[in-house]
Amino acid sequence: MQKEMISARQMFCIIIMFIFGSSVIMGVSSGAAQDSWMSLLLAAVFTVPMLLIYARIIKLFPEKNLFEIIEMLFGKIAGNIIIILMVWYSLHLCALVLRNFSEYIQIVSMPETPQLPIMIAMILVVVYMAKSGIETMGKWSIAMLSAVFLVVIITILFSLNKMDFTNILPFMENDFKSIAAGAFRLYAFPFAETVLFLCLADAMKKKDSPRKLYLYALLFSTVVLLLVILRNLFMMGPGMVGASYFASYVAVKLIDVADFFARIEGFISMNFILAGIIKITVCLMAAAKGTARLFGINNYRKLLLPVSLLAVALSAIVYKNVMEMIDFLRFYTYYAVPFQVIIPLTVWIAAEIRMHKRKLA
């Protein structure tokens, strides 16, 4: 199979779109009310060391993906166990994002339509994107990132007349523990989910610096998510933000410029679809690559469709309703730790030991 390679710029855009994924629409909920923005900044700071570890792993094994690295470091048996865990995480995350998407569509626009057809329609687009390859996804991300960013800026500009800047007060009303807990939540979702890019790291060129790539993407996405948090907060206040399932959608619904420019919440749906497709595609590619590696299949594309249908099946049974979906966020923070922290940390330590031994030899 011919190896797919993408430029640093394309990878940068894919990472940002991936981080935006469901966050742009779910309104980056941290549970710290008007101090959410502090949680976000703290989460970004928490994420830096982990991203440096991810980048270091990529640097130590250029043009190799996480599954190849794991097999190289831990051998067949232990390696396969870790690969199974990462495949599960990719598949589960794919199902969770798909479910976020179908719940959103059902709540805001199609309450009578069952979720399954929505999921199937979405996954078929995702499979098409994944089959087209990561290069196509990279080019598409470059084009669409500007659209997503433009929508965020437009919604901020048009909502200026409705903003109440006192909504941010009082500062630090929540104690530091609540703010840190909110930061931990935002660390797990969405920032540290970028661990899945280790599974696509074989598409990165050797000369590109993964550290710069990760850190710039983190910086850019933090700035945009900060704008989103502040927009929602200034528009609705902490109470309403906390009570809304899809805070961004509700906030943008309030925009009304001179009784003429109103009802532009469709833009928000557009953002969700554009960024959501990238996030699901990345998860699906990671799951398919891991499954292919596990069974010794050379071309992961051959497994994209059955793996995607498995994600749809998982997505259909993963939650009973939207309340359960929102409630799962507080469990997700803990659930994601082994996949986002423990496995990469173990891989990194093993990789450093191996490199050290090789140097000594």
- The footprint of other proteins (CB under 8 A) covers 92, 114, 116-117, 120, 181, 291, 295-297, 302-303, 305-307, 309-310, 312-314, 316-319, 324, 328, 330-331, 333-335
Query: What DSSP line would sit under 158-170, residue for residue?
Result: HTGGG--GGGGPS
Find tokens 């479910």 and name the residue. Answer: 99
Q: Are 94 and 318 in contact (CB under 8 A)?
A: no
Nearer to other proteins, 120 or 154 (CB): 120
Q: With both helix axes pointing from N to C terminus, report the angle between 115-132 and 304-318 in degrees, rounded to the nearest 10.
A: 150
Angle at 217 between CA 212 and CA 222, to 5 degrees: 130
The closest of 330, 249, 335, 322 to 99, measured between CA atoms, is 322
Nearer to other proteins, 224 or 312 (CB): 312
Min CB(212)–other proteins separation in Å: 35
Q: Are 100 and 119 in contact (CB under 8 A)?
A: no
The residue length of the chain stands at 361
Min CB(9)–other proteins separation in Å: 32
Distances (CA, A) of 3 to 49, 78, 203, 286: 30, 27, 7, 15
Dihedral in degrees, nearest 10, Cα atoms 333, 337, 339, 343:
170
Nearer to other proteins, 53 or 303 (CB): 303
Nearer to other proteins, 13 or 38 (CB): 38
Nearer to other proteins, 268 or 325 (CB): 325
How large is the C-alpha radius of gyration of the chain? 20
Q: What gap in Å lies between CA 335 and CA 319, rounded to an integer?
A: 16
Min CB(185)–other proteins separation in Å: 10
Min CB(268)–other proteins separation in Å: 26
Show the tokens assigned to 311: 């994600």
- The residues, any chain, with a CB within 8 Å of residue 178's CB and separated by 6 or more, are 31, 32, 35
Nearer to other proteins, 205 or 302 (CB): 302
Min CB(205)–other proteins separation in Å: 29
Nearer to other proteins, 61 or 319 (CB): 319
Min CB(189)–other proteins separation in Å: 14
Min CB(316)–other proteins separation in Å: 5
Q: What gap in Å lies between CA 316 and CA 325, rounded to an integer?
A: 12
Q: What gap in Å lies between CA 346 and CA 298, rounded to an integer?
A: 26
Nearer to other proteins, 158 or 328 (CB): 328
Min CB(199)–other proteins separation in Å: 18
